[in-house]
């Protein structure tokens, strides 16, 4: 680090400035007068250096036995555990979610590290019978090469580790570009990698704004891109990468439904809705943004959610007792505020919130009141578009089939939840909801590191993070035929022909 407030890129094991010498700022979204730091505004030359370092390191890293790579990831997990509180404090300061949530974010990274360690001894291929005598068939996994990792700011430690840990465990090297809204959190993660003994060049950090990500995507020596962010950026990036025959994994937006039926435990549903919709200020790809509720319990549930939401304490997430932090920046605040007009124009009612939150220490941050829209119909924009803020749209239905139909009637398909005591409905939901993830009697949030994570439709492109499936993304299969017949195969074929 150059000093307390000026931070650098990490390329080939060295901390360096952007070659242009330019920087950008990161500020606390709860107290914008608090400067987190200046970060390198990297360009093509910095990406070039990082990719070259990653390419050179790949030649030795790919030959390190996978269990040994796993041991390094174990040390990464141990160091993250030691630094959990301090990293969480800085994450809250930089991106706003409360300390209990950023600690959870680091915990997810720890779980991902320990899971990766176990995968070092389980990077299985297959052995398959041959059609011939004296011949052996098997598949093995090989790393792909240099992987570009481009991430959003809302899970600034956990989500990068969903990519970085399986990538390097598999023998790849990486160039990581955190969101410009969470550069410090990304830097703290990379510092852990350095201190845990990850060799130079295996993990490279290039900070910057949109142009930096684009330079990574366009680089000829980058073999694969893993992206988490908006559907718009993901679609543009995938087009570019397809032209260059690169492998791409996309994790994008959501418009996640929670269905609450008339037989549900309403206390449980209310609790799940509060944290699913308003936790992380609604800035999760898995946030609950649509409540699809049976007409028999609509009024009672809405009343309970409003009463509980009014108790939520907004504030700076490193202060004790804060439940909900700010939005990430002014642009996000303007976007969420703009949806209040959209709701009114479409004929929805604002039953709770509906404006920026001010006073009581909130004036220097991007705070928005927890908001609930009622009288929403499925065709309204607030029922279809990702708002990415503390906003829940309530849609009333009169049957379970209608609820599933409404749930599926959006372009996204990441997470979903169903509250019911009827096991047949639960299984029908698991079968029929078009989403990558369905929770029964739990909120739409709460991913576990060893379970696959990802969505369908405009949310993703068929790949998964988490679990063992992510290792399919970061490895290529090599098919191996071993012939120990000493030339007898021809004779066997001739025999078949007879
Ligand atoms: N499905 C999932 O797992 C998740 C999805 N998300 C989604 O992320 C979105 C919010 O994140 P947000 O940061 O606003 O998303 P963006 O799409 O704006 O940015 C995501 C990342 O892409 C980079 N980027 C921007 N333009 C380009 C480009 N042309 N080429 C390559 N990289 C580029 C950004 O860099 P920079 O910031 O420097 O511009 C950032 O690092 C929401 O839609 C949310 O649903 C969030 C978390 C999880
Ligand atoms: O809580 C979850 O399901 C994880 C959400 C997540 O990773 C995200 O929103 O980026």
DSSP string, 332-360: HHHHHHHHHHHHHHHT-EEEE--SB--ST
| pLDDT one-digit tens code per residue, 178-194 | 999 999 999 999 999 99
Q: CA-to-CA distance for 207 and 199, rounded, in angstroms?
A: 20
| 455 in a structural domain | no
Q: Which residues contact 242 (CB under 8 A, 6 or more apart)?
A: 248
**Does residue 62 lie within any of the structural domains?**
yes
Q: How far apart, in whole angstroms, are the C-alpha atoms of residue 212 and residue 80? A: 27
Over residues 45-65, the pLDDT tens digits come to 999 999 999 999 999 999 999
> Do 267 and 235 belong together in one domain?
no
In this predicted model, what pLDDT tens digit does every residue of 428-485 receive, in sequence order? 999 999 999 999 999 999 999 999 999 999 999 999 999 999 999 999 999 999 999 8
pLDDT score of 492: 59
CA 99 – CA 234 distance, rounded (Å): 29
Q: Mapping DSSP to helix (H, G, I), strand (E, B) and coil, where does residue 368 land?
A: strand
Residue count of the chain, please give it.
498
Mean pLDDT (whole number) for 132-141: 95
3-state helix, strand, coil in the chain (%, to 5): 40, 20, 40
Identify the CA nearest to 163 among candidates 209, 208, 100, 216.
216
Residue 378 to residues 44, 54, 63, 388, 455, Cα–Cα distance (Å)? 44, 48, 54, 18, 21
Same structural domain, 219 and 280:
no
Q: Give the three-class secondary structure for 57.
A: helix
Tens digits of per-residue pLDDT, 268-289?
Answer: 999 999 999 999 999 999 999 9
Q: Cβ < 6 Å from ligand 1: which residues?
A: 150-155, 159, 177, 179-180, 208-210, 213-214, 217, 228-230, 233, 236-237, 251-254, 285, 386, 388, 414, 459
What are the angstrom distances between the C-alpha of 145 and each of 216, 230, 290, 431?
14, 26, 41, 37
The pLDDT of residue 498 is: 47
Domain of 295 in residue numbering reads as 256-440
Q: How far apart are the first and last CA of the chain?
A: 75
Closest ligand (CA of 216): 1
Mark whether 351 and 471 lie in a shared domain.
no
Q: Which ligand is nearest to the CA of 454?
A: 1
Angle, nearest 10°, between helix axes 298-310 and 266-278? 50
Per-residue pLDDT tens digits for 389-423: 999 999 999 999 999 999 999 999 999 999 999 99
Residue pair 27/55 in contact (Cβ under 8 Å)? The answer is no
Same domain, 227 and 301: no
Residue 360 sits in a domain whose CATH number is 3.40.309.10
446 lies in some domain:
no
Q: Note the pLDDT tens digit of each residue in 289-338.
A: 999 999 999 999 999 999 999 999 999 999 999 999 999 999 999 999 99
CA distance 441 to 420: 7
Question: Are 214 and 310 members of one domain?
Answer: no
Same domain (yes/no): 74, 199: yes
Tell me if 497 is assigned to some domain: no
39, part of any domain: yes
User: Is 77 part of a structural domain of the chain?
Assistant: yes
| Total structural domains within the chain | 2
Whole-number mean pLDDT of the chain? 96
Whether residue 325 is found in the same domain as residue 387:
yes
Which residue among 105, 155, 386 is best mutated to probe the pocket of ligand 2, counting the most ligand atoms within 8 A of its Cβ? Answer: 155
- Give yes or no: residues 147 and 176 share one domain: yes
Cα 446 to ligand 2 centroid, rounded to whole Å:
7
Choose one of 233, 416, 437, 461 to mutate for the ligand 1 pocket test, by most ligand atoms within 8 angstroms of C-beta.
233
Does 498 map to a domain? Answer: no
Lookup: tokens for 338 = 């703009």
CA distance 433 to 131: 42
Same domain, 241 and 306: no
User: Edge-to-edge strands of the sheet including 475-483?
Assistant: 127-128, 135-143, 475-483
Distance CA 97, CA 319 (A): 11
Distance CA 61, CA 82 (A): 26
Mean pLDDT value across residues 368-376: 98
Same domain, 43 and 141: yes
DSSP 170-211: TT-EEEEE--TTSHHHHHHHHHHHHHTTPPTTTEEE---SHH
Task: Provide the token pair at 442.
Answer: 């739990």
CA-based nearest residue to 292, from 318, 255, 323, 328: 255
Output the domain CATH number for residue 467. 3.40.605.10
Mean pLDDT of 141-158: 98
* Nearest protein CA to atom 4 of ligand 2, as residue: 447
Please give the structure tokens belonging to residue 232: 């718009």
ipTM rounded to 2 decimals: 0.91
Atom of ligand 2 nearest to the CA of 280: 9
pLDDT exceeds cutoff 60 at 497: no
Over residues 368-387, the mean pLDDT reads 98
State the closest ligand 1 atom to the C-alpha of 216, by its place in the atom list counted from 1.
31
| Predicted pLDDT of residue 210 | 76
The verdict on whether 251 is a catalytic residue reads: yes
Residue 486 lies in a domain: no
Structural contact between residues 187 and 158, judged by C-beta atoms closer than 8 angstroms? no
The active-site residue out of 251, 345, 385, 386 is: 251
208 shares a domain with 63:
yes
Q: What's the whole-model pTM score? A: 0.96
Is residue 2's pLDDT more than 50? no
Q: Are residues 314 and 197 in the same domain?
A: no
């Amino acid at each position: 680090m150059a000093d307390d407030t000026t931070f650098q890129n990490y390329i080939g094991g060295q901390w360096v400035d952007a070659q242009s010498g330019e920087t950008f700022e990161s500020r606390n979204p709860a107290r914008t007068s608090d400067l987190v730091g200046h970060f390198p505004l990297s360009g093509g030359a910095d990406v070039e250096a990082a990719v070259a370092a990653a390419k050179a390191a790949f030649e030795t890293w790919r030959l390190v036995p996978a269990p040994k790579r796993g041991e390094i990831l174990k040390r990464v997990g141990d160091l993250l555990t030691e630094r959990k509180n301090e990293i969480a404090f800085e994450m809250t300061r930089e991106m706003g979610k409360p300390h209990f949530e950023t600690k959870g974010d680091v915990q997810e990274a720890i779980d991902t590290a320990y899971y990766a360690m176990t995968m070092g001894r389980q990077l299985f291929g297959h052995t398959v019978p041959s059609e011939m005598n004296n011949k052996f068939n098997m598949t093995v996994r090989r790393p792909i090469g240099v992987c570009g990792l481009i991430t959003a700011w809302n899970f600034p430690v956990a989500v990068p580790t969903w990519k970085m840990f399986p990538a390097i465990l598999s023998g790849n090297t990486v160039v990581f570009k955190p969101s410009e809204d969470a550069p410090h959190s990304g830097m703290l993660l990379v510092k852990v990698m350095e201190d845990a003994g990850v060799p130079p060049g295996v993990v490279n950090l290039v900070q910057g704004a949109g142009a930096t990500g684009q330079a990574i995507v366009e680089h000829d020596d980058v073999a694969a891109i893993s992206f988490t962010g908006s559907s718009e950026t993901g679609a543009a990036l995938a087009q570019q990468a397809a032209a260059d025959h690169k492998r791409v994994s996309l994790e994008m937006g959501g418009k996640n439904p929670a269905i609450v039926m008339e037989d549900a435990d309403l206390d449980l549903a209310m609790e799940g809705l509060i944290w699913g919709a308003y936790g992380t200020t609604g800035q999760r790809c898995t946030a609950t943004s649509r409540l699809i509720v049976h007409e028999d319990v609509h009024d009672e549930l809405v009343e309970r959610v409003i009463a509980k939401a009014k108790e939520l304490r907004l504030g700076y997430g490193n202060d004790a007792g804060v439940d909900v932090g700010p939005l990430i920046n002014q642009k996000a605040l303007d976007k969420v505020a703009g949806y209040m007009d959209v709701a009114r124009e479409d004929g929805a009612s604002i039953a709770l919130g509906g404006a920026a939150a001010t006073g009581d220490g909130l004036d220097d941050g991007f705070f928005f009141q927890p908001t609930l829209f009622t009288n929403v119909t499925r065709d309204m924009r607030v029922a279809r578009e990702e708002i990415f803020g503390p906003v829940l749209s309530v849609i009333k239905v009169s049957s379970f089939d209608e609820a599933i139909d409404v749930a599926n009637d959006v372009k996204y398909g990441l997470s979903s939840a169903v509250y019911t005591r009827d096991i047949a409905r639960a299984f029908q939901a698991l079968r029929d909801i078009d989403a990558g993830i369905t929770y029964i009697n739990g909120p739409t949030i709460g991913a576990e590191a060893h379970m696959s994570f990802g969505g369908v439709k405009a949310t993703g492109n068929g790949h998964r993070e988490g679990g063992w499936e992510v290792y399919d993304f970061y490895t290529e299969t090599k098919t191996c035929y071993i012939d120990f017949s000493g030339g007898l195969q021809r004779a066997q074929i001739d025999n078949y022909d007879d």
